[in-house]
Amino acid sequence: MVNRDLDLVALERKARLAQHEDGLAEILAGVLSASFAAWMLTDRGAWGAIVPALAVVALARVRRWLRYPRVGYMRPSSLWWPGQGRMWAVITVGSVIALCALCFITARHGATVVTDAMMAGFLVAAAVLAFAVAEAMTGLARWYAYAGALAVAAVAAHFAGLSIIYCLLIAGGLLIVWGLLLMVRFIRKYPVLSESAPASGYGNDAGGEQ
Amino acid sequence: MSTPGEPNDLRSQALEIDRVVHEPARYLIMACLYVVESADFVFLLQQTGLTRGNLSSHLAKLEQAEYVAIDKQFVERIPRTLLRLTPVGRAALIAYRQRMQRLLEGPG
């Protein structure tokens, strides 16, 4: 039966999702969001450039140590990636909406007038678009939840008279904590299966050829 | 002379089934590799649920049939076995799926 009913699309999705359960993407998104907010608040270049760059390098190394020995390494296929079309659709639609919004604002307020509210709106829209792209790339629906939560928080902050920057800072902090929780769950769920590990722990039926 | 859909035709199609792909574990391995560019041994262990010995022996069979290319390398002194489906293996998997579908649908 398996020979007839094996769904290759579901198999591809399962393979891809296994690579994104460790919470590293959430931690990276959190660090980027928080460091961007810190940069806007303190005006120190280190927060805007050095911290994100260090985070990317550090998380790439952590991924090699954390993910590959547990769920293995795979290179996605350009032929078999149903999410690819969706990702480009999200980017295209998002860009068109952003352009339309820009044209609308420019026509209404003049080319040189950019208020704080507009800038905040752009920041939140960019963050929401980034989350939507992350969802399209990874196939994890929870990125839409992050985007929705951020949009709601931004609207709440606007009505409360708070700066949107704090919203990004808090969202970044929460994402980092959530990413760490996901990482702990991942470590508990997947034991190390590295190739150099002793074979006896995983069954020893060499020659079990049928 | 049998026409398509007749029992004789089905019999000949059944006899032409690729036995290398027909084994469920090997079919699963090939399907897992079909949807990715390449993957390592640990990834296949995780995805297929096979044991090390079983997976190794099936991979050896697939390599022998030239359906899977195996590339052993060291990444920071850690061994990594990268596997990918060859074009021959891809074609074999597609042909097998089509043939099985025709067979299971039957003459009706």
Which pLDDT score is estimated for A47? 74
Residue B24: partners with Cβ closer than 8 Å, 6 or more residues away: A2, A3
With H, G, I as helix, E, B as strand and everything else as coil, classify residue B55: helix
Average pLDDT over residues A166-186: 91
Q: Answer yes or no: is pLDDT of A85 > 90.
A: no
Mean pLDDT, chain A, rounded, equals 76
Residue A91 CA to residue A103 CA, distance in Å, equals 18
Residue A142: partners with Cβ closer than 8 Å, 6 or more residues away: A135
Q: Answer yes or no: is pLDDT of B2 > 70.
A: no
Q: Is the pTM of this model over 0.90?
A: no
Give residue B40's identity as a one-letter amino acid code. Answer: D
Q: Which helix (H) or strand (E) holds B85?
A: strand B78-85
Helix %, strand %, coil % for chain B, to 5? 60, 20, 20
| Contact between chains at B51 and A14 (C-beta distance less than 8 A) | no
Say how many CB pairs under 8 Å bridge A and B: 125
Average pLDDT over residues A108-132: 69
Phi and psi angles of residue A165, each rounded to the nearest 5 degrees, phi first: -60, -40
Residue B1 CA to residue A193 CA, distance in Å, equals 55
Residues 170 to 209 of A: which have CB under 8 A from any B CB? 190, 193-196, 199, 202-209
Reported ipTM: 0.76
Which pLDDT score is estimated for A200? 37
Residue B103 CA to residue B100 CA, distance in Å, equals 5
Q: Which of B41, B61, B101 sits opposite A195 (nearest CB)?
A: B41
Q: Tell me how crowded residue A114 is: count the other CB atoms within 10 A of its CB.
A: 13
Q: Are A6 and A167 in contact (CB under 8 A)?
A: no
Helix residue ranges, H only, chain A: 2-5, 8-18, 24-42, 45, 51-66, 68-71, 82-109, 116-138, 142-160, 164-189
Q: pLDDT of B41-68, one tens digit each?
A: 999 998 898 999 999 999 999 999 999 9
